[in-house]
Structure 1
């Protein structure tokens, strides 16, 4: 065939990538912004509401006018007394009490006030702060022994004084404040609160709890600013049980949320005598979770460790997120991630304890101020937001990388969109030895800057691009994955990066801790560029002829693979491997069409549907008459003209004019339907001649090996005839499959392409066939509730028509073969009968089936009897029962349940040919104990010369194995007033080989955990095994032959010998061998924890001959400070030596 050059597809790939990635991203981004704008531009609802209210408010009666005048002129104390007399709540402001009384007397509320008495501010009067929405504040007096209300006429201020175990709660949004004191004075006019005597002020927001304690408190309820005298504050870490105590002579808090502590001590709140403390002259806790400290001294106990003159730690993030570090290969580096939109996701692995204690929560909203992202203190509304980040990294050895990361959440028809792209200017890094690298060639000192091929041009940089997304268009959905890489190593070189800098670890361990190399490699092997979709086409107009039309898949896929370079095989350059196009599936399609050609089944008429006189559906509830006729009054219909008729309230009940249709039973119905299903498939594949490409610059998109297409269709048409009561069912199905493969182009000039072989495989795969299947099922006892599952069934299935290729490539021809009455064409021909009875004990069944000619005759039978939870089943078959009968094995299985956790199970197999039982398995289970004895039809063994050999070729039913197992768990064992918790897990198994006795074994596992409250956690697990369990019972008279095994025959003595650490000989001769041992102890020492872990496991030592097993003992000891978990020290030991961290 003549080769016709195809157009270069690389430009098409790039165009699709940019169009789908950027257009989809911009469209979805535009939709997101539009949604925000629409939300922020909601029209005011107050203006229209006011006019409606003024028109609909009825005039006040004479009594209501007098009451309104009394309510408006009463003082707070008088209003409270008035409410108390009426049994109403007397708490709240003067306006709240007034509105409470108005509601009681049915007086409409004044304009601009709600039921609680708070002023409603119209949308035009509200301050324009779209990023912060005020939440209603509620003040509740929980308890007080005395209350007093008075007014100072001189300054015209109203006061309320509460005495004796006062406790009030203030709730605002998701934040709650609780204040308790001996005495509390509330200035209602200034909204100022003062408290004294054992003052406790608690703030709870989410999982963070702050507690202030002191002798006196002054608090402004509008701004929640105030001051404590001689108090301290407690703050718990979010998600942690630790609480920290801040003690100061004066603790003040302003309206902006800044807290200042003078002469402050910081320590843990859990113990009276702290193990550590920080004393400072002043501590600032600033808004946004910034904090600063002056003249601080860190003490452990009473011992001062170091002095801090001043320290300021911002709790906010820097917008470009710099990360510093060092790696052996890349050298020193700085990685920056600048978020123009969105913010990085929280990473618990890079967040230290200091930032968790005094830093901001990742669930708070942030706003950009300069180069900082300031925490607003408000909870994040949603984690799904548009994210746009610019990446810029520099490496001392490798070079530089710049990129862009865009993520757009699902918005309307657009699914989640992700675009990641970047270019890197890198140079070859040469290894100089163990952990030593240099960008300079060790031979001539030159620098090799890397380049790459983009389309057909060489560019002086390396690149990467990946776009993923989806789009929903009604019933269709489109998705794409478009990656493009310059070489297989670009991700491994430039995507081993971090966005969070762990400063504490860097100070402790050096710059190498800033960003360690990833343990997993990001070297790419192959990737696919795919654009695809799926969906359904509406077929309501054509239903039921076409009930559904589904496009399962419609896609185009370009496959890239990697190949090693011959020229750069030994080089460290990225050109040592390169990507090449292997196969391009230009288009691939698969679908399904189904429908009904004929059906006599009619949907049931809705008998409950009511028809009124005018032909419209009527609601029965609308015409129902109320039984409470005396309470009804004539209703005036708005907008009606002329006099209205009054509702008839007489006792007469008139049935409305209804037209109902009912469907009688009419006996059984016969149902007949003809249905079809078609599954078309098609694909066009283009294969490149990549075997001739040895280097990356030799890749040529015009080098095509062959282009071929596959067209296929699979279909069925089925006719089903049955009776509605399931008395019988008849079905006839015709199925077919057609497949056609064709090569549009083959490069015959290539020496490694065998055109005839390709054509031969395509011709053999082409062709079609037809099958037919008929099934008839009769249930003669369907009307009987006990025997309704009994049935007769006849099945015939076979190939009706097929084609076969004549194996001539030059003159291809397909011969037509018609089916015949032979087992080569008839795949199933059977008749079966099932007798089933539904009894109170369960379902009892007996079944017979027969394979009929031209299939090989086979008569099968099965039965199942059931009584409660117990059951018995059996099945067997006879081959060629009417010619040369061959009786196949009979299997019987029975289960007897004596109690919910006590049962016996027996499995038997009888082989008529052997005239003997060939399998016997008995199992007895009682709670956690299980015993099993099995027999098998096998040959016998003889122990001779220290090994087992076959004694004879004669097979018989012989004992095979005995197994005994036990396993139990005891959890939540509590002792000593719940101070000690324990658990125990035991698992053991004994397996006796009754043919080869020395293969018997015993395993035992033990696990226990003991927890002493706030003192010690201890866990122990072990697993041991004994492979010479036979030698303890070798003298028992149950064995057919005597096999002497040397060694200790007393099991208890041998068990004690396994613990004889004073005698290596006895300990090694013991049959009890330890497989694994683990001991872990955690000791709690206030603010510190000490963890000791010991693991023992055997390993095969191959360092010297002869090989031998030895124990690898791993010991780890860790001491860690709870307040700041990064302060720790660890010692580790194993067979390779000590490691200190």
Structure 2
């Protein structure tokens, strides 16, 4: 490091003699006029560590930093584990902070001064010479020169073969393989060129034959754009001018595409322009731009203009008074050559959001938003709305609301065109739509929406409300944008309304509240208490208006918003539910030991939560303690048995618990008299009837277990009481009144049930048999009280009855014996289950054995049906498999024990890519009749019914260092009906994929079907009187591409065909697709197959993917789709 330091000192001393203001030495660096850092600043911590620094390092650290080359400085920071990003000044500050050394008061701590620091990092040769003709001194640096300059927090570096510095004129001229790098905190930029001329004081200059690179993300891929110019100039106002500029992303020579401009201006971030620009595809000029300017300043009301078929020309404006619109990618990737700041980093000046000289202060609520929307349509009308989003407002975690008013004309569709006029009595007229609110007409359409969520302590609440004047409000006014879609001008698509702008036919207002208070002071009697949830709901529905104006009834009217109206259907309030759970009793084994006041206090203390515990008080006197007998230590003795301690549960101990759960609910529904409302003016608050439903549910659960869980008991007692009342509030017909009253009577009942289960584990002490158990379970209805009938006077009659020992009240009565034996490296299981009276009796058994790769499962049983016993099929399942699943054999057999006959046999073999299955069952047989076809022989015997064979294969071949790839795949599926062999079929799926790296991806796939397999067997073909076929000749005919008659005669028919080819054109992507399949059509009573095909062509420009075209050709029709 010493040699560069000596070289730098000598060189800068010589330069200072020529022009002290142009080249600054190490001593002058500290006097550039930066504001000093105050004592105790966080940037310059001072503590004892600074005083412990060696004196030599403390005195020379600043000089070492100033004289270090850029590479040495980066290595220094990297060695200390510090970040190497940012300017040189920032890296120096990190190193100083690491050593806890501060700069002198005159030392600069910011880099926004007008001055700059120029350093010669590397040069093989230096020379001063005078030009006597003009009386100027010039410093010549040669041999891999590297200069670094720091200005306004930006680090510049210049590399060249030769650099000339005119110290009198403050000019810098670099020549030969010039590389100019700019390092910022947000990224680096690099320029390359033949030569560059700079004014050192102002940094205005000219780059000759320069090129710069910019990486942009396009379709989640990084694309490098090159901006090249014959001359690049920089003015004192940081305006860059590129003469003879070319923009491209193609690396080919010449480029596959380029945008050549006579001049390119870059004024500010996100603000640039072109003059006389021509878009070339290869060498062919395709498009001419006389002028193009992308402003960096934006209108604060975000105007968007365009035209639609139905609504006409439009202009949307969105003004953000708080917050900013969601940022989206530029409509064209090439428009992102310079990064523009967000709207929140701008300030409003007049009608524009301009980029300020200094960034504005951060908003106190950056996640809030308030905007005003004003839209105007030439044909439809206008819209004015306000929307806001205010999260984290007090107890509200979310608060969104929106209000809107619309003025619209009725739209008519006639003679293939939309218009807001209709002709009546020879006069063109317009009809303005109106809205209604609870039967009151208003001369506008409206919307309102509120959605909020919040938490207040243990209470959570939610409110969701929306109100619309009509069902078409979203369709007419919500399909809007806040940003111009430039891509739509070059790649237009058909209009497509999103789900947000679709027709709305129903609305629900919902309000929910949940309360879960803390009940720790009530434990264990009350373990949880919650209101979950308390609801309120208003249901709005829509119906057709039966009294419409004549202008809306005209057949040319295009779905007028007045055709449907909203009305309140029902109101639900309250809908309240309360849940209480707790424990009434708990008894553990060992808890009945002798208790003392001290043990009670200790257990009470341990029951408290850690935050409730207080330190135990100790008496101020000394307690007397018994001294242990020293003779006890001489003999070995076991420690005392530790009893059951509170807080440390013994999992094997016995326990009895009694818990409860209460769940009362109440709900009131009010229904409007909507049946009498035929028009929007009829809507009001006329109530039809009201219902109140009260339901009380409760249960007691008793759980008991013995030590080591040898015996467990679970008993649940449940009660369910329902009550419903009805109040008629309007006119109601007798039939409807009777129906509503009958539903009310049926909604009153009381039911009590019980469910008990006892499990016994008699083999707990044997590890291999410990999971074996005996179970008895019983579930029944204990009492039932409900509506029975109406008496002669029309009053309801209720009857109650206690549970009886019959199948209607005993819902479950079952025993089960389970034997599980862990042996042979597996678990062998024997299960016996029986249903007991008064249920229909059943006795079922299952045996499951496993050993290595072999598994066997046997099952069977008897069932009682109508006092008769019937045996279940005896089922056998045997499986043999290899661990890698390369071979798997499965056999399923079902026997009928009554007739001792085989009912079903299914054999499955999986061997690598081959799978075959043979199925036979007891069923009727079939014989072929030439006149009637297949006719059942009415027999009931065992027949082999179906054989399937499935074979799959795939092979991949690569050549030319894996640049060429060929993949072949196929599948053959043979399905043979062994009874009606004319129903057999053969499917052949085959395909091939051929890829050439960065050139072509070709894929062809087809399916061939043959439903005439039986004709290849002479005896079968003769039996059904069909001609015989030869499989080899059929295959040959199916491949006769140029013989239509042969392809029609063959039994192998194409079921589907698809071809796709993607041609990689480096900067373009061309995709061709073809798909076809036969479809059955009936014309004139005759059915025949017709081939239907679809051809698609997709073209996309990769650097600008918004420029694309998708063409679809089907049935001779050409469609341009998005």
Displacement of 1:420 in angstroms is 2.6
- Judge conservation of contact 2:96–2:102 (CA < 8 Å) in 1: no
Q: How does 1:645-656 map to 2 (within 5 A)?
A: none
Q: CA deviation at 1:905?
A: 0.9
Contact (CA 8 Å) 1:76, 1:94: kept in 2 or not?
no
Q: Residue 791 of structure 1: CA displacement? A: 0.6
Do 1:213 and 1:232's aligned partners in 2 also have CA atoms closer than 8 Å?
yes
Gaps spanning 5+ residues in structure 1: where? Answer: 1-44, 129-136, 153-158, 619-659
Aligned to 2:753: 771
Seen in structure 2, the aligned counterparts of structure 1 residues 777 and 258 have a Cα distance that, compared at 3 Å, is: farther
SS of the aligned residue for 2:335 comes to helix
Q: CA deviation at 1:1014?
A: 2.6
Query: In the alignment, what sits opposite 2:842?
Result: 858
Q: Which of 1019, 1023, 1026 is matched with 2:1010 structurally? A: 1026
Matches within 5 A, 1:1056-1067: 1056-1067=1036-1047
| 1:597 to 1:281, Cα distance in 2 relative to 1, 3 A | same
Q: Deviations over 1:48-90 (max 9, x none)?
A: 7789977x649969x9667756768889559999999999989
CA-to-partner distance for each residue in 1:480-516, whole Å, 9 max, x for gaps?
111111111222222222333234543x57xx87977
Of the candidates 402, 409, 428, which is equivalent to residue 445 of structure 1? 428
Is the CA contact (8 Å cut-off) linking 1:279 and 1:298 kept in structure 2? yes
Distance 1:474 1:201, change over 3 A: farther
SS of 1:574's partner is coil
Structure 2 match to 1:109: 101
1:555-566 to 2 correspondences below 5 Å: 555-566=535-546
**1:1090, CA displacement in angstroms?**
3.4
**1:600 alignment partner, one of 570, 587, 590:** 587
Shift of 1:172: 12
| Structure 1 SS opposite 2:796 | coil
Give the distance between the partners of 1:98 and 1:473, measured in 2 at CA: 47
Looking at structure 1, the residues matched to 1103 and 278 of structure 2 have their Cα atoms a distance apart, in angstroms, of: 16
Are 1:754 and 2:743 matched, yes or no? no
Match of 2:766 among 771, 778, 784: 784
- For residues 887-898 of structure 1, what are the structure 2 equivalents within 5 Å? 887-898=871-882
1:623 alignment partner in structure 2: none
Return closer, same or farther for 1:183/1:469 CA change in 2, 3 Å cut-off: farther
Pairing of 1:896-907 with structure 2 (within 5 A)? 896-901=880-885, 902-907=887-892
After superposition, the Cα gap between the structure-2 partners of 1:78 and 1:323, relative to the gap in structure 1 and judged at 3 Å, is closer
How many residue pairs match? The answer is 1011
Task: Say which of 1010, 1020, 1024 aligns to 1:1044.
Answer: 1024
**Equivalent residue number for residue 36 of structure 1:** none
* Equivalent position to 1:996, from 980, 996, 1009: 980
SS in 2 for 1:238: strand
Partner of 1:486: 469
Corresponding residue number in structure 2 for 1:314? 295
Cα displacement (A) at 1:532: 1.3
Look up the match of 2:805.
821
Kindly tell me: are residues 210 and 566 of structure 1, through their superposed partners in 2, closer, same or farther at Cα, counting changes over 3 Å?
same
Q: Structure 2 CA distance, aligned partners of 1:976 and 1:371?
A: 62
| 8 A contact 2:438–2:684 mirrored in 1 | no
Structure 2 stretches lacking a partner, 5+ long: 1-36, 130-138, 592-602, 619-640
Asked if 2 retains the 8 angstrom alpha-carbon contact of 1:315 and 1:358, the reply is: no
Looking at structure 2, the residues matched to 1067 and 94 of structure 1 have their Cα atoms a distance apart, in angstroms, of: 80
Aligned 8 A contact 2:465 2:510 in 1? yes
The structure 1 residue matched to 2:1113, chosen from 1119, 1128, 1133, is: 1133
Of 1017-1026 and 934-943, deviating more is 1017-1026
Q: 1:875 to 1:1138 in 2, by over 3 A?
A: same
Contact 2:950 2:974 in 1 (8 A): yes
Q: Within 5 Å, which residues of 2 pair with 1:335-354?
A: 335-346=316-327, 351-354=331-334
Contact 1:227 / 1:250 at 8 angstroms: preserved in 2?
Answer: yes
**Where does residue 14 of structure 1 map in the other structure?**
none
Mean CA deviation greater in 547-556 or 516-525: 516-525
Partner of 2:31: none
SS at the partner of 2:429? coil
Aligned with 2:178 (options 199, 211, 216): 199
Give the SS at the match of 2:1046. Answer: helix
Question: Given the superposition, is the C-alpha separation of residues 767 and 93 from structure 1 closer, same or farther in structure 2, using an over 3 Å criterion?
Answer: closer
Residue 1094 (structure 2) pairs with residue 1082 (structure 1): no
Q: Which of 712, 717, 738 matches 1:729?
A: 712
Counterpart contact for 1:77–1:149, Cα < 8 Å: no
Tell me the residue number matched to 2:833: 849
Counterpart secondary structure, 1:419: strand
Find 1:458's aligned residue among 422, 425, 441: 441
Map of 1:285 onto structure 2: 266
Residue 547, structure 1, aligned to residue 527, structure 2: yes
- Determine if contact 2:474/2:501 at 8 Å carries over to the other structure: no
Cα deviation code 1:545-601 (max 9, x no counterpart): 111112222111111111112233845342222111111112212342211111124
Preserved CA contact (<8 Å) 1:139 1:171:
no
For 1:468 and 1:853, how far apart are their aligned partners in 2? 57
Deviations 1:921-974 (A, max 9, x none): 111112222111111221111221365444332222211111111335567x64
Q: How far apart, CA to CA, are the structure 1 residues paired with 2:709 and 2:240?
A: 81
Do 2:1022 and 2:1028's aligned partners in 1 also have CA atoms closer than 8 Å? no
The CA deviation at 1:785 is 1.7
Residue in structure 2 matched with residue 243 of structure 1 by the alignment: 224
Within 1, Cα distance between the matches of 2:127 and 2:642? Answer: 77
1:931 aligns with: 916
1:943 aligns with 2:925: no
Distance 1:259 1:526, change over 3 A: same
Greater shift after overlay, 947-956 or 924-933? Answer: 947-956
Q: Contact (CA 8 Å) 1:256, 1:287: kept in 2 or not?
A: no
Do residues 467 (structure 1) and 487 (structure 2) align? Answer: no
Q: Work out which of the residue numbers 721, 733, 747 in structure 2 matches 1:738.
A: 721
Q: Does 1:966 align with 2:951?
A: yes
After superposition, the Cα gap between the structure-2 partners of 1:278 and 1:859, relative to the gap in structure 1 and judged at 3 Å, is closer
Partner of 1:913: 898
Q: Which residue is equivalent to 2:242?
A: 261
CA distance in 2 between partners of 1:392 and 1:315 (Å)? 24
Q: Residue 406 of structure 1: SS of its match in structure 2? A: strand
1:209–1:235 Cα contact (<8 Å) kept: no
CA offsets 1:289-329 (integer angstroms, 9 cap, x no match):
22112343444444555654433222554433333333333
Rounded Cα–Cα distance in structure 1 between residues aligned with 2:937 and 2:487: 75
Report the more deviating stretch, 410-419 or 299-308: 299-308
Distance in 1 of aligned mates of 2:341 and 2:968: 40
Alpha-carbon distance change, 423 to 900 in structure 1, aligned in 2, over 3 angstroms: same
The answer for the alignment partner of 1:655 in structure 2 is none
Other structure's SS at 2:465 match: strand
Distance 1:193 1:363, change over 3 A: farther
Instruction: Indicate yes or no: 2:1096 matched with 1:1116.
Output: yes
Query: Does the Cα contact within 8 Å between 1:71 and 1:79 map onto a contact in 2?
Result: no
Aligned to 1:578: 565
- 1:65-84 → structure 2 map (5 Å cutoff): none
Q: Quick check: 1:138–1:172 contact (8 Å CA) kept in 2?
A: no
Q: Secondary structure at the match of 1:492?
A: helix
TM-aligned CA deviation for residue 1026 of structure 1? 2.1
Sort the Cα spacing of 1:101 and 1:89 in 2 relative to 1 into closer, same or farther, 3 A: farther
Question: Which string of whole-angstrom CA distances, capped at 9 and with x for unpartnered residues, describes residues 683-706 of structure 1?
Answer: 10011121111111111212x221
Q: Alignment partner for residue 878 of structure 1, among 838, 856, 862? A: 862
Corresponding position of 1:388: 370
Tell me the secondary structure at the aligned position of residue 675 of structure 2: helix
Looking at structure 1, the residues matched to 711 and 848 of structure 2 have their Cα atoms a distance apart, in angstroms, of 24
Shift of 1:454: 2.3
Q: Structure 1 residues 952, 746: closer, same or farther in 2, change over 3 A? A: farther
C-alpha distance in structure 1 between counterparts of 2:209 and 2:181, whole Å: 16
Q: What do residues 24-69 of structure 1 show as CA deviations (whole Å, max 9, x unaligned)? A: xxxxxxxxxxxxxxxxxxxxx9777789977x649969x9667756
CA shift, 1:425, in A, is 1.1
Post-superposition shift, 1:206?
11
Q: Does the Cα contact within 8 Å between 1:716 and 1:735 map onto a contact in 2? A: yes
**What displacement does 1:1081 show?**
1.8
Cα distance in 2 between the residues matched to 1:358 and 1:846: 76
CA distance in 2, matches of 1:404, 1:324: 20
Match of 1:525 in 2: 505
Cα separation, 2, equivalents of 1:264 and 1:83: 37
Tell me: CA distance 1:160–1:463, structure 2 relative to 1, closer, same or farther (3 Å). Answer: farther
Q: CA deviation at 1:800?
A: 0.7
SS at match of 2:1040: coil
TM (norm. structure 2) is 0.79
Instruction: Quote the RMSD (CA, aligned, Å).
Output: 5.0
